[in-house]
Chain A
C-alpha cells in the first residue's frame, strides 16, 4: 500500500493536529484549572447525558437513512435547476439557531402551514413539540449535510463502472450490491458520526422543540453551570463527559469504515442505464420532491418573513455583513489548509483523524471560555475577536471537511499513488500535480461549507466582540433582543443569501473543470 512509503512530509499535519487539540482540549483544561471546586454530577446531569445520546443517535440515523435515497436520486437524475436545488438544500445546515426555530415553527408549528392545511382538510393539527420535534428539527438541520456527503460519494464513483455494469446487464439491485453498497459502506460511518456529534452539542433547538425541561442536553447543563452558578468545575466535567461520548463515537466509526477497492476512472458525467426504468424514476421523483418540500418550506417561510424587513435594514448591518464575509473567507482558507495538512498525515497515522474530528465534540461555550481565559492572561481578547472567530470556525468546520477531503484523498492516492511512486513524484510535486487536481471538487465544497458555516456562527464572537465590531449573526440576535423581529428576519434573509452565495461560488469553482 501507498501508506507504507507515503512520500509527503508529516510535520504540517502534526502542527494542524496540535492546534486542533489545543482548541478542543486545551481550552477545557484552561477552564478546569480555573475551577474552584469539583462536585459529582447529579441525577439530572446524567438524565441530560442519556437524553443527549438518545436524540443524537436517532437524529443521525434518520438523517442518513433519508439521505441515501435522496442523494441517489439527485446523483442519477439530471434536470434543469439541479445545481441550484442542491445548493439550496444545503441551506438549513448554516442557519442561525433562532432563525431556524422561527422557520420551522412557521411550517410545522401549531399555527404553522402544515397544521392549517390539516385543519382545512378537517384533520387534527400536528404538534411539533416533544421528542419527535427534537428529531424533526435535527433532521432538518443535518439531512442536507448527509445528502451532500453521500452525493459526493456517488460523484466519486467512476462512470466506467456504471458502463461496465450496464454491459453486464446489471439491474438496480446488482448495481447497488456491487457498486453503490461499497461506496456507502465507506461514507456512511463518517457521515453518521459527524451528525451524531453535531446533535450532541445542540441546545436551544433541542429545548425549544422538546417543549420543556425533559429535553435538557449536556450543553444546556454546561450553560447553566457556567452562566448561573459560575461552577467551572461542573462545566468542565460535563464538557469532559461530552468529549468521552464523542471519542467513543469516532472510534466506533473508524472501526466500521470499510475502505473501498480502488480502480481509476476518467470522471465522465455518469449516465445510468440501470436507472431508466419507470419504477426507479418514480422513486427518485418522490424522494427529490419530499426532501425539497421538507427542507425548502421553512426556508421559504424565512424568506417571506424576511423580505419585508429587508427594506429597512439598519445601516450597521452592512458593516457587520462585511466583517462576516471577511471572517468567513479567512475561516475557509484556514480550514482548507489545516484540513489538507491533517488529511495528508492521517493517511499514515489514522489517529490524527480522530484529533481532527475532536473540535466537534468540544462544547462551544467551554471552548470560548477557555480561549478567553488564556487570551485574557496575555492580551485584550477584544482586539483578537475576528481572527479568533475565524480560527475557531475553521477548526469547527474541520470535521466536516475531513469527511469530504479524506475519502477523496484516499481515492486519489489509491488510484495514482503507485504510479506516482514508481515515477518518483514526491513532496510538494505529488501534492500539486497528482493530488490537488483530484481534490478540486472536494476542496470547493469544503471551502464553501467552511465559509458558510462561519457566516452563520454566533459561537465565540459573542464572548469577544466589541459592541461596534459585531458580525451579522450577532446583530441578528441583538435585533431580536430589542423587539425588532422584522428587521432581524430581514437581516437573517441577508445572511442566508450571503452564506449560500459564498457556498455556491466555492462549490462551482470546485466543479468547474479546467
Chain B
C-alpha cells in the first residue's frame, strides 16, 4: 500500500512536463488551505512548466542540504531570519523591479523579495473585553484581569516579533514591562496554533496574533466577535520573503517566478488564502473585510543587523521576567 502510494507519487512527478520549478515552502503555505495551490495554478498557466512544492522548515532544511539542494526558489522565509539566510550564501539577487511594493516601510533589498506582511497584534473577544487597551503601555499597566496567551520567542516567529516589539516600545524598561505583563499571561505556547486554539475555545480572552486575524472570522465564519487591539506606539511588522537559490538549475523559471511574485495575479491570492497583507497591492484592492478593519498607523521593523544583534538579548530579558 505505502509503496504503491510512493510509487504513484514518483510516477506523477516524473511523467509530467520536463521543466519543473521546485519551490521550498512552509507547510501552511503549500497546504490546500494556504495560498500555495492557487499560486501554483496561476503560475503554471503562464509559464508552461510545472511548479512543485517541497514543504517543511524552509531555512533549516536548506541549510541541511547546502549547495546540493534541488530547490530553485525558497518562499516563506521570515524577515527575522533574513540575516541568517543571507549568511548561508545560498541565495542570488532577484533583479525584480521593486516599485509595485505597497508596504508601509521602504524595501530595497536585492536578494530577498517580500511577498506578504502582517502586523503583530493582541486579538481579543469583543464580547468579553469592551475596554481594550489602546497602547502597549496600557496593556502592561492595566489593572484589568485579562487572560492572555502568547507564543514563546524561542520557538515561534510571532513570539520573537513580540519581544522585539516590546524592546522597541519600552527600551531599557522592557524587563519591568514584561514583569508587569507576566501575571496576565495565562500561558506561553510553542507555536501560534496552540495559543490561537485556546483563544477560540474561550480559554483565554486575548491572544498574540495579527491585525488581520479578525478578517478570517468575518469572511470565513461571519463572526464579528474578534477584534485586534490597536496600540498608539505602533505595531511590529512580520514580513515574509522569497528568494532565488544561487545554485538553481532552472534560472529562467526561477526569475519568471520572482517577477510573478509582485504581480497582481499572485498578490490577489494572498489576503484571503494566507490571511495577511499583500506586499504589492494598493489598499483599495484589498477585500472589503480587510479595508474595513481598523489599521495601525505606525509600523515598526528593525533592520536585519539590528534585529539579529538584539535577538538573544531581547529573548533573555523576556525569559528573565517571565521566569520570576
Q: Which of A86-129 contact B (CB under 8 A)?
A: 98, 101-102, 105-106, 109-112, 129
Q: Which of B4-12, B101-109, B135-143, B259-267 contacts A (4 or more CB under 8 A)?
A: B4-12
Q: Which of A319-370 contact B (CB under 8 A)?
A: 323, 326-327, 329-330, 369
Residues of A near B68 (CB, < 8 A) are: 376
Q: Cβ of A478 and Cβ of B31 under 8 Å apart?
A: yes
Q: Cβ of A477 and Cβ of B6 under 8 Å apart?
A: no
A385 within 8 A of B: yes
Q: Cβ of B2 and Cβ of A323 under 8 Å apart?
A: yes
Distance A279 CA – B308 CA, assembled complex (angstroms): 66
A485 to chain B, nearest CB (A): 5
A81 within 8 A of B: no
Q: Cβ of B60 and Cβ of A226 under 8 Å apart?
A: yes
Instruction: Identify which of B56, B185, B197 contacts A462 (C-beta below 8 A).
Output: B56
A119 to chain B, nearest CB (A): 14
Q: Which of B179-225 contact A (CB under 8 A)?
A: 182, 185-194, 196-198, 200-204, 213, 216-217, 220
Instruction: Identify which of A220, A330, A470 contacts B154 (C-beta below 8 A).
Output: A220
Residues of A near B27 (CB, < 8 A) are: 462, 467, 474, 477-478, 481
- Count of A interface residues, CB-CB < 8 Å: 68
Q: Which of B27-63 contact A (CB under 8 A)?
A: 27-28, 30-34, 36, 53-57, 59-61, 63
Instruction: Identify which of A208, A224, A468, A482 contacts B34 (C-beta below 8 A).
Output: A482
Distance A166 CA – B196 CA, assembled complex (angstroms): 58
- Count of B interface residues, CB-CB < 8 Å: 63
Residue of A109, A129, A305 most packed against chain B (CB within 10 A): A109
Q: Cβ of B2 and Cβ of A330 under 8 Å apart?
A: yes
Q: Cβ of B203 and Cβ of A323 under 8 Å apart?
A: no
Instruction: Identify which of B10, B61, B194 contacts A204 (C-beta below 8 A).
Output: B194
Distance A385 CA – B2 CA, assembled complex (angstroms): 9
Q: Cβ of A208 and Cβ of B189 under 8 Å apart?
A: yes
Q: Which of A433-478 contact B (CB under 8 A)?
A: 462-470, 474, 477-478
Task: Using A213-B318, A326-B1, A387-B6 as known contacts, list a sample of 6 further A-B pairs with CB atoms less than 8 Å apart, ordered by residue number in A.
Answer: A102-B197, A207-B189, A223-B155, A230-B60, A390-B2, A481-B27
A residues neighboring B (CB under 8 Å): 34, 44, 98, 101-102, 105-106, 109-112, 129, 203-204, 207-209, 211-214, 220, 223-224, 226-228, 230, 305, 314, 316, 323, 326-327, 329-330, 369, 372-373, 376, 380, 382-387, 390, 462-470, 474, 477-485, 488
Ordered by A's residue number, 27 sampled pairs between the chains whose C-beta atoms are within 8 Å are: A98-B194, A98-B197, A102-B198, A102-B201, A110-B186, A207-B152, A207-B190, A208-B188, A208-B189, A213-B154, A214-B323, A220-B152, A227-B57, A227-B60, A323-B5, A330-B1, A382-B54, A386-B5, A463-B56, A464-B56, A465-B55, A466-B9, A466-B53, A467-B25, A470-B31, A478-B32, A482-B31
Smallest CB-CB A-B distances: 7 pairs: A482-B33, A480-B193, A326-B1, A386-B2, A478-B31, A204-B190, A481-B28
